[in-house]
Amino acid sequence: MILDLFFPNRCIHCSRIIDADLLVCGSCFEHIHFTHFEYGDKNSISEKCKLLFPVENTYALMKFEQDGLSQKIIHELKYKSREVVGKTLADWTTERLDFKNEQPDFLVSVPLYPKKLKERGYNQLHLFTETLSKFYSIRFDHQLIQRNQYSKAQAFKDKKHRLETVNPFSLSKPVSGKHILLIDDVFTTGNTVASIAWEILNAGDNRVSVLVMAVDV
């Protein structure tokens, strides 16, 4: 409580003092551009994914805009040691996402290379995934996919290097006959999710859907 008095929580956009469990104030919340995608319908992610691998369903919570509020939110999560932002994003997702009759068998988030995980101290997708898992009663598996190669964050790569993809992922155990929802933070070229999707698809009679916090428009 004393820390709240001397270091109050502030809106990441306008710096107005807000409740400790909030990320943005009510006024700035109106400036977040949610996608309003319907899970299972055609959207910008499904169109891009279908050029890379056979995808089942896709969903994005927000539109990722350079220098916009969505970028600030993602950066708070990834680079400002605010893991709890993942729960906030998951709560916003559960208010908007209806799996209907296409609920996946389990949730898998994009892993970090051990060195990067140590540097950051947490995987920015884990709390997000676990919150969704609890709400929808879908199990998650943080160990299914492992990253075998250290790479610079997508946000700091130029377009040429984003496209230079040597698959750094592998499965840690067999999986077959499952519908897996693959979770990432920002969808840009789709190379990351495609690399993981092919590992899952080639492992057996599996299906892959994609959920991201934001899509780069």
Pick the CATH number of 32-216 from 1.10.472, 3.30.870, 3.40.50, 3.30.1490: 3.40.50
Average pLDDT over residues 173-181: 97
Task: Give the predicted TM-score (pTM) of the model.
Answer: 0.89
Position 100 pLDDT exceeds 80: yes
pLDDT > 80? residue 39: yes
Sorted by where each begins, the domain ranges of the chain are 1-31, 32-216
Residue 179 has pLDDT above 60, yes or no: yes
Sorting pLDDT into bands at 50, 70 and 90, what band is 166? Answer: low
Question: What value does the mean pLDDT of the chain take?
Answer: 91
The mean per-residue pLDDT over the stretch 68-87 comes to 95
CA distance 95 to 98: 9
What lies within 8 Å, CB to CB, of 210 at 6+ separation is 45, 49, 55, 57, 58, 59, 181, 182, 183, 184, 187, 193, 197
